[in-house]
Amino acid sequence: MQLLVSVTSETEVEAAVEGGADIIDVKNPREGSLGANFPHVIRLVRERTPGSLPVSAAVGDVPNLPGTVALASLGVATCGVDYVKIGLFGVSRETDAVSLLQEACRAVRTYDPRIKVIATAYADAYKVGALPPLVLPEVAVESGVDGCMLDTARKGEGNLLTLLDENQLLDFVQRCHNAHLLCALAGSLSEAEVPEVSKLGADIVGVRTAACLGDRINGRVDSKKVRRLKALIAAGASPSYVPRSEAQTAALDVPR
């Protein structure tokens, strides 16, 4: 399992890298769970991050506006990232989610087909009227994205492990892997909860607060905390993600 550490600026990159983060993620928690950061910040984070480490960035907690999301996804793609994360906040129906994600994929892959698109649903979707989280793997397959992520929309009102039970999470991970989708788990996780999440078999665990001195908005990533998280993950199960083959992707008939 890889550790994704979210940073809010280039000044946090060094600590995340020193602590052993596998993926450097860029977001702006002042604008929401998957709040979008500024293009110049994403570019600076990419410049400060060693070339061997991938960088991901959030498009935002997006509305059900496919054109807007496609344009925003293209903007993120031009900033040198390896992953584009889309939070399905304003989307409640599966058909709408598929349509939106297909257009985002078209925009990103026309620019650079190597960039992976990750669809994110919220474990507490019922609180905000968003897409039910457990349907995400099927939406992902139909839309042609590269992976699925679970997060939480309302911070401070429960976390991934209190909102979904172990069987639900295990089933989610298995369905992602059966479809050759990357699977990431996040959502207000503390250091104490990382070992439990590590046992679920996902490919990536994402954190911010657990890697920070201070809160998710005003805190700063600390290398010692990141190193402890890495040690906890080391005892967990190894990832079983197998990328979808070109033939399988083509069979989905999704614009690339």
Of the candidates 27, 116, 155, 225, the residue annotated as catalytic is: 27
Facing residues of 122 across strands? 151
Q: Is 155 one of the annotated active-site residues of the chain?
A: no
Of the candidates 85, 116, 155, 225, the residue annotated as catalytic is: 85
Q: Which two tokens stand for residue 214?
A: 């201070």
Helical (H) or strand (E) element with 143: helix 136-143
Q: Is 164 left (phi over 0), alpha (psi -120 to 50) or beta?
A: beta
CA distances from 162 to 89, 108, 159, 187 (A): 20, 34, 5, 10
How far is residue 107's CA from residue 77's CA, in Å, rounded to a whole number? 9
Facing residues of 225 across strands? none
Q: Is 127 one of the annotated active-site residues of the chain?
A: no
Active site residues: 27, 85
